[in-house]
Amino acid sequence: MNSPAGAVQQKGKPKLENSSDMIEGLRDLTVHIHRGNATQAGSIVTDISKRLQVIIGSDDDAVSKQRAQQTLFAIQEVGILLGENDLSGALSAARDASKEWRLRHSPNENAG
């Protein structure tokens, strides 16, 4: 049976941050925006936002939460731009979200 939001079970807890489903969702998002399918892109934005909020609310480490938070900011921007029918801007923001998801943030990156 599949776990919620494409989570991969590992040692009794979901490991959403390593999910290939997240990368696939981000890729699908950019494809749908590029094709002008704003309705489907909006659905994907909602799904990805929910997954990221689960990570942010989980007991995962601070680095995973920071990564999810940065990705969520970019995904929220995608949603706003889709609402304004700015597909070019939404596509750029979706690419930014994908880059944020792939980044590995240092735990001391914002210290100082």
Instruction: Write out pLDDT tens, residues 23-77.
Output: 999 999 999 999 999 999 999 999 999 999 998 998 878 888 888 999 999 999 9
**Domain membership flag for residue 8:** no
Give the pLDDT score at 105: 55
Long-range contacts of 54-59 (CB under 8 A, 24+ apart): 54/4, 54/5, 54/14, 54/16, 55/16, 55/17, 58/14, 58/16, 59/13
Which residue reads 């494809």 in tokens? Answer: 31
Instruction: Write out pLDDT tens, residues 17-26.
Output: 556 888 999 9
**Domain membership flag for residue 27:** yes
CATH number, domain containing residue 97: 1.20.120
The range of the structural domain enclosing residue 62 comes to 18-102
Q: What is the 8-class DSSP label of residue 108?
A: T
Give the pLDDT score at 62: 85
**Domain membership flag for residue 23:** yes
Give the pLDDT score at 58: 86
Number of domains in the chain: 1
**Domain membership flag for residue 48:** yes
**Domain membership flag for residue 87:** yes
Residue 24, H or E segment:
helix 20-34
Instruction: Report yes or no on whether pTM surpasses 0.85.
Output: no
